[in-house]
Amino acid sequence: MGTALIVYPFLFLALFFESFILVTLLSKPARATRARKPATNDDALPAVAVIVPCWNEGETLVATTESVLALDYPALKLEVVLVDNASTDDTPRIMERYRENPRVRLVHESKQGKHHAVNAGIAATSAEFIGCLDADSFVAPDALREAIVSFDDPRVAATTAAMSVHAPDTILRHMQNAEYIFGIILRHALATVNGIHVTPGPFSLYRRSVVDALGGFQFGYQTEDMEMALRLQRAGYRIDSAPRARVYTKAPATLPKLVKQRVRWTSGFLRNVLGEYRGLVGRRQYGALGIIVLPLGFLAIASGLLLTGLAVVRMWDMISTAIAVRSGIPFSYAWVPPVSHFDWFYLPGTFFVGLGVATLIISVGMIIAGKRLSKTPGSLGLGIVSYAFLYGLVAPLWLAQSAFDVTFGKKRGWR
Amino acid sequence: MSLTLRNALIALGVTIALIATVAYAVQYLNQQRVADLTAIEDQISIDTLSLDTQFSLLEAAPCANAASSTDLTGALADLGDRLAYAEGQLGSENAQVLRLKEQYSLLEIRDYLVTKQLAAACGTHPVTVLYFYSNAGDCADCAKAGYALSYLRDTYPKLRVYSFDYNLSLGALSTLISLDHVQNTLPAFVINGKASYGFTDLATLEKQFPKGSLATTTAAK
């Protein structure tokens, strides 16, 4: 009963958050966003500069740049700014391929840090809108026309795209693909109530005048996109989402790389929100962001650690009991599962399991909805299965490491 | 009212409705489980009574019923497994579980008595084990003992194991305990009428059985 008292409040909050997302998705503003058409009047389209900050991105830089150049957008109103941020690989040499391309600007920024690179890119252009695109991401041809309509609302200072994983080929990448597509529907719903707390590196767009007014990009504990989003929110602007502006990003292929990336994200969240942006948490004036998103962000980290700890203790208890009970009994009886037919009687129908299943079903439903809404191509079956059964096992790794890093002030490299 | 507040209030209502639905579904599933147990118990009860009645009617030739008595013991074992699972799901204090356990214990005692009667009339030598356990947290070795007996029961189908919750408040069970002089030192075993206490391991338990009794029964595996 003691464990239940700890677990049930977290399950209640998880269900509440999912219900909030579902209700918001059905609300009139969300339906209006979904009914929005991509921009078609070329004459009315604003000038956009897509900045690609590069730090040792030689492997993917060409594909990323080509995807931007292939965007369905008037050529005279779109430019690409490639910013080499003190790379030590062949990035500068590869950038030189575009030296003669009139739509591409090449910038070299010696001060390391994504914020320095993006600011250098902004300084090199006079475009009215700024797009940021990580150099390991590729945009769909219609992504910019889908995204730029977000700025029809003058209160909108930034908009986010519909991210998914580029060519998922391993279980780990399929899992991340499902998670990213889940993120599409979450951001779509949260944008409706202005609750977005991060403008991801893969193709977020900014109103340049607002970015300039706020002093450009700043250091944000290796999560500069999140720092900028929080600063926009604090200044009272809106962050929108363009659920059909597809962008594909390369996801970490191995568990150590994934953990490193997520530790950067999670510790960046904790450091930003516990630090400069603490004033946003729990404040009604910041609406869904202050009352729901940021507090639940902390609770998600805390519950992930707590529930994992409880699960490990419970698992250890079960295993040690099973070993003790079976000791001395022949192996063939004790450890080889008997061949038996399905019997509904033994279905584990506890309240805890029921709530867990309900939460999972809603999550899966939202992942499917995210795929349909964004029209993201590819199969989701393996992604959903791996997300359902694997994510809960690996997420505690970066949650624990992030909590450790933030508690003891440990800093880690980007990769 | 802001959109956020409105959505949050509706979401709260949806959450409560979802939780209520889950609670109802779990309750329904457990009720179905209890109904299933009750149906099995009713069937076994009828079978036991039938066997008992046949035994009385055919006093001159009762031994033809020995086989059906063995079938009943297998059904009782399956019922015991289900009851133990239901007890884990619903809790040992659940009134329905307690009622079912009482009925189950009565059926076991009835089958035990029929087995003894058949043995006396037909000259057979069944090996019977009365196993007394406790779920009150005061029996550290009961889980191990229960599992070892399950192994023996599954390995030697003719072995008749009857499990009883020592703390169950049931007149017939109290009488059985006092008749066999079973002390409150658990786990306790009465193997063919001879009481022993405590559990260390399977090999030690097997030594409590009459010499050759396990070997003479038909092994299932």
ipTM here:
0.87
Predicted confidence at residue A357, as pLDDT, reads 92
> A413 is written with which tokens?
């490299």
> B86 is written with which tokens?
């239901």
Q: State whether B147 and B214 are in the same domain.
A: yes
Tell me the chain B residues in contact with residue A324 when contact means C-beta distances shorter than 8 Å.
143-144
Tell me the chain A residues in contact with residue B78 when contact means C-beta distances shorter than 8 Å.
none
Model confidence at B219, pLDDT cuts 50, 70, 90, reads very low
Predicted confidence at residue B215, as pLDDT, reads 65
Q: State whether B116 and B60 are in the same domain.
A: yes
- Other Cβ atoms within 10 Å of A348 Cβ, number: 12
Predicted confidence at residue A288, as pLDDT, reads 94
Q: State whether B73 and B154 are in the same domain.
A: no
Tell me the chain B residues in contact with residue A334 when contact means C-beta distances shorter than 8 Å.
151
Indicate which CATH number applies to the domain containing B202.
3.40.30.10
Predicted confidence at residue B221, as pLDDT, reads 41
Question: Is a pLDDT exceeding 70 seen at residue B220?
Answer: no
| Amino acid identity at B110 | R
CB contact under 8 A, B85 and A349: no
Q: Which residue has the tokens 């079903």?
A: A361
Closest-CA distance of chain B to residue A400, Å: 29
Count helices and strands in chain A by DSSP H and E runs: 15, 8
Last residue of a domain, one of B96, B124, B152: B124
Closest-CA distance of chain B to residue A366, Å: 16
- Which of A325, A357, A359, A363 should be substituted to probe chain B, the one whose Cβ sees the most B Cβ atoms within 10 Å? A325
Predicted structure pTM score: 0.85
User: Average pLDDT in the B159-176 region?
Assistant: 94
Under 8 Å CB-to-CB from A36, ≥6 apart: which residues?
A: A149
Which residues are A259's β-sheet partners?
A: none
Predicted confidence at residue B64, as pLDDT, reads 63
User: Average pLDDT in the B126-147 region?
Assistant: 92
> Whole domain around residue A266: which residue ranges?
11-35+136-296
CB contact under 8 A, B7 and A24: yes
Q: State whether B103 and B133 are in the same domain.
A: no
Q: State whether B221 and B139 are in the same domain.
A: yes
Q: State whether B131 and B192 are in the same domain.
A: yes
CA separation for the pair A204, A242 (Å, rounded): 10
Question: Is a pLDDT exceeding 70 seen at residue B218?
Answer: no
3-state class (DSSP) for residue A128: coil
Q: State whether B21 and B38 are in the same domain.
A: yes
CA A40 to centroid of chain Cα atoms: 29
CB contact under 8 A, B19 and A321: no
CA separation for the pair B198, B14 (Å, rounded): 53
Question: Is a pLDDT exceeding 70 seen at residue B145?
Answer: yes
Q: State whether B208 and B119 are in the same domain.
A: no
Q: Checking DSSP bridges between strand A129-133 and strand A202-207, what pairing results, if any?
A: antiparallel
Lowest-pLDDT range of A34-48, B111-125, B188-202: B111-125
User: Average pLDDT in the B171-184 region?
Assistant: 94
Predicted confidence at residue B50, as pLDDT, reads 78
Question: Is a pLDDT exceeding 80 seen at residue B74?
Answer: no
Per run of 10 residues, the mean pLDDT along chain A (length 415 residues) is: 79 95 96 95 96 93 97 97 94 95 95 95 97 96 97 97 96 97 97 96 97 96 94 97 97 96 96 96 94 95 92 93 91 82 81 91 97 95 96 95 92 69
Q: State whether B83 and B174 are in the same domain.
A: no
Q: State whether B199 and B147 are in the same domain.
A: yes
Predicted confidence at residue A132, as pLDDT, reads 97
CA separation for the pair A157, A206 (Å, rounded): 6
Alpha-carbon dihedral sign for residues A397, A402, A405, A408: negative
CA neighbours within 13 Å on the CB side: how many for A217?
Answer: 28
Predicted confidence at residue B121, as pLDDT, reads 80
Which residues are A78's β-sheet partners?
A: A48
Interface contact A288, partner B, CB < 8 A: yes
Residue with the bigger pLDDT between A165 and B207: it is A165
Q: State whether B135 and B177 are in the same domain.
A: yes
User: Average pLDDT in the B130-156 region?
Assistant: 92
Q: What DSSP string runs through A18-35?
A: HHHHHHHHHSHHHHHHHH
User: Average pLDDT in the B65-85 region?
Assistant: 75
Question: Is a pLDDT exceeding 70 seen at residue B217?
Answer: no
Which of B15, B22, B85 is facing A19, going by the closest CB pair? B15
Predicted confidence at residue B210, as pLDDT, reads 84
Q: What DSSP string runs through A390-406?
A: HHHHHHHHHHHHHHHHH
Give chain B's domain count.
2
Q: State whether B85 and B192 are in the same domain.
A: no
CB contact under 8 A, A333 and B154: yes
Inside any domain, residue A98: no
Give chain A's domain count.
1
Q: Are the C-beta atoms of B142 and B187 separated by less than 8 Å?
A: yes
> Whole domain around residue B198: which residue ranges?
127-221
Predicted confidence at residue B122, as pLDDT, reads 82
- Supply the DSSP symbol for A46: P
Helices (H), A27-163: 28-35, 61-69, 91-95, 114-123, 143-148
Last residue of a domain, one of B76, B103, B124: B124
Predicted confidence at residue B164, as pLDDT, reads 96
Last residue of a domain, one of B76, B99, B124: B124
